[in-house]
Amino acid sequence: MCRIVAYLGEERVSLSSLVLKPDHSLLVQSYAPKEMMSGVVNADGFGTGWYAPEIDGEPAVYRSNAPIWADRSFASIAPKVSSSTILAAVRSATPGLPAEESGVPPFASGPYLFAHNGAITDFRATAMRPLRDSLSDISYSSLLGVTDSETIFALLLDRLREAKAPPGDAGSLAEATAETVQLVSKVCAKLGVYASLNIGVTDGEAMVFTRYSTEGPGNSLYFAESTGTSSNAVVVASERLDGDADWRQVPDRHLFAASTGGVTVRPLRW
């Protein structure tokens, strides 16, 4: 399991304002999460991705397999780096999967950042082979580790390449994400294994998250619009960052999308 937080807005905010400073920040959630369905801490690494469009369209990523509270370098950098799109996560490694940097979110490829809060039961012995067999050659050859998260991202990248959508096309990003969740859930259902699939992806201009599991309620997911960091912004988080009344829960088995055109929430049905 992991805890995720993301920001998309007109104004740039510092990494620390999202990841370190809130009352129930990602830092706090790393050692004192309130709503995790499995595990008690997120000590198996952390990462933050952000965009600098004045340089290019690909995100910068800072990842470590150390706990976020032990990384003084990030604590020094975070107040001095700002962006209008940020995706960050702390990790609790799924049992049976290695706690190494290749498995730490967010993952990046081209203009995309991706994170996964959840797990596929006994992934390496069950769904790993059929899911990876369905990958294109380019996605398969880009895999670095053996995690379910990286595999799901590779499946999503194949669908995004087929869509050829320009950055900011929230509809195409949402459709590719929904198709990926549907594929993974169907493979897992056929194998009789449980999958929790809260995933988040951004191209720097649009952002999509899902709250989904093959059985029972999915992991928690919230969003808040115009939180005070910007007059036109949205924050998405596995757990509410503070006690502000603006936080809304994404319903179970729903997809959340955000872009300059606004926010939409729709059910995932198949």
Domains of the chain: 2-267 (3.60.20.10)
Full strand arrangement of the beta sheet holding 262-267: 107-109, 112-120, 195-202, 207-211, 254-259, 262-267
- Check: CB of residue 73 under 8 Å from CB of residue 53: no
Determine the Cα–Cα distance for residues 6 and 259; give it in Å rounded to an integer. 13
The two structure tokens encoding residue 110: 């081209």
Helices (H), 79-169: 128-133, 137-141, 148-163
Cα atoms found within 13 Å of the Cα of residue 84, Cβ hemisphere only = 17
Determine the Cα–Cα distance for residues 162 and 140; give it in Å rounded to an integer. 16
Comparing CA positions, the residue from 46, 25, 24 lying closest to residue 92 is: 46
Comparing CA positions, the residue from 17, 33, 6 lying closest to residue 236 is: 6
Digits of tens for pLDDT over the chain (270 positions)? 789 999 999 999 999 999 999 999 999 999 999 998 877 888 889 999 999 999 999 999 999 999 999 999 999 999 999 999 999 999 987 666 666 677 899 999 999 999 999 999 999 999 999 999 999 999 999 999 889 999 999 999 999 999 998 999 999 999 999 999 999 999 999 999 999 999 999 999 999 999 999 998 889 999 999 745 446 899 999 999 999 989 999 999 999 999 988 999 999 987
- Check: CB of residue 256 under 8 Å from CB of residue 173: no
Catalytic center residues: 2
Q: How many residues does the chain have?
A: 270
Count of beta carbons in the 10 Å neighbourhood of residue 67:
18
Coil, helix or strand for 139?
Answer: helix
Determine the Cα–Cα distance for residues 96 and 29; give it in Å rounded to an integer. 23
Determine the Cα–Cα distance for residues 7 and 11; give it in Å rounded to an integer. 10
Residue whose tokens read 């805890």: 3
Coil, helix or strand for 104?
Answer: coil
Q: Which letter does DSSP use for residue 250 in this model?
A: P
- Check: CB of residue 86 under 8 Å from CB of residue 78: no
